[in-house]
Amino acid sequence: MKGRTSCVVHPTPEKTSYNVGRTTYDRDDKPHEECGVIGVWSPEPVDVAGMLQLGLFALQHRGQEAAGICVSNGQDLVIEKDLGLVAQVFDEARMARLRIPGANLGIGHTRYSTTGSNLRFNAQPLNVRSSKGILAIAHNGNFVNAKAIRQELLEHGAVFQTTNDTEVMINLIARYAKLNLIEATARSMRELQGGFAVVLMDRHTVLALRDGNGVRPLVIGRLPNGGWVFASEPPALTLVGAEFVRDVRPGELVWVEAGELKSQQVLEPRPTPCAFEWIYFARADSVLDSIGTHESRVRMGEVLAAEAPAEADLVVPVPDSGIGAAIGYARASGIPFDYGLYKNPYAGRTFIQPTQELRDLKTKLKLAPTPAVRGKRVVMVDDSIVRGTTSGRIVQLLRDAGATEVHVRISSPPIKFPCYYGIDTAARKELVASTHSVEQIRALIGADSLAFLSEEGVKRAVGGPVCLACFNGRYPAGVPTEEVQKEALEQA
């Protein structure tokens, strides 16, 4: 494997910042998705590296800590990965190394770490030499029983080079030496619990799979030349020129064999996809499990307006994630919609200065109120509250700009429990709703009123079964035997 080495010290979950060398960056007060994955197989040599790079640009929102690409031409297999955004990692030199003659398949990954610290050796795709040849894997989600399986594998002589749970699956697959790749992958799926979407490759084919609950999304596309693409979201298919075919079904394993798509229903389907895909994570132009993201967010706002009306003059979204719900709230309530907050598109990840006064300026760097709020009673619509720190700063921004009242409406229920399926929702003690009532949160953020969308409202808006574990503590895809932290496998 090639690539520069970067020095990163990842914080414990209690911290709200992380360090890259001597630079400290703010972690947004939002839930964070773990990863985006993509796989490409073509019947003929194509610019696989370029296609995967484009696909990762479409999935950048799902993870901004690291990126990686693995390609093969049937003989050689090359991996390039590093810490950073897609545009930072894949410079001309790296792309040149990935463009091997005759390449026709590969996988890619963008990472936000939820198991395993943000270190370069945890970047994906991961690879291993096995009786089945070299395998590479890219994974979105979490295996809740990874620590126990890892310990068992260690006791039988397995060697681990990373501290993320993805390596547990690839070691499981490699352990089944007497089974072919499809059989070994299916058997591993049966042993693993949690929410996961995976793309896997050897030198000749690409596989894709999804957990039995379908917690994490995965879709299938067809290239004009008869090739196949697997990706976390449909926009990645569009960007590489593939036509959407369907979602990978919960519990399904699919692979390319002699140019045809093959399928095996490995696990019993019990669909409960993550509600936050529609609330916040997925791109607004995505359609997951036949449900449109933007349309769902608009419906959330409409239901929220019925559940929690407010006497106000203006509905203002917190950009960008609150826009759809704010449109729905304005539409259902009859209150005019306006952009009362401007988001700086160039702010990126905010550098935190050493003084508290300068730290507090980070919200002003990202968001600025517009004159539209002056003298107005404002309904501020956002998708979630995690710790409450950012919400309080935004409320104050609106007041400083002349808003006479600020009524906060959230298009999700209060987040009270951690997610074990691939979302970094922080430790439970950091979740403000786990220790405070709605009225106490309202006082903390300084709003005139505060209301959250109900669980029933989420289900009505999405229109299908969803996982609501971070709201109610009922985990449909299993729970770990002990409290899991991001660095859990580092002590294993």
| Known binding-site positions for [4Fe-4S] cluster | 274, 419, 467, 470
Task: Indicate the SS3 state at residue 265.
Answer: strand
Q: Which runs of consecutive H residues, i.e. helices, occur in 73-206?
A: 86-89, 92-98, 146-155, 166-175, 181-191
Instruction: Give the annotated binding-site residues.
Output: 274, 321, 382-383, 419, 467, 470
CB-based contact 287:315 (threshold 8 Å) = no
**Per annotation, catalytic residue among 35, 279, 378, 403:** 35
The CA–CA distances, whole Å, from 489 to 141, 144, 254, 271 equal: 15, 11, 29, 28
Whole-angstrom distance, CA of residue 170 vs CA of residue 185? 9
35 counts as catalytic: yes
Beta bridge partners, 137, equal: 126, 200
Instruction: Give the annotated binding-site residues for Mg(2+).
Output: 321, 382-383
DSSP 8-state code for residue 301: H
Whole-angstrom distance, CA of residue 167 vs CA of residue 179? 19
Whole-angstrom distance, CA of residue 407 vs CA of residue 284? 25
Rg of the chain over all Cα atoms, to the nearest angstrom: 22
Burial of 96 (0-12, 13-18, 19+ CB in 10 A): exposed
- Total count of residues recorded for the chain: 492
Whole-angstrom distance, CA of residue 184 vs CA of residue 178? 9
> Which residues lie below 8 Å from residue 237, measured CB to CB, with a gap of 6+?
55, 219, 221, 229, 231, 243, 244
Active site residues: 35
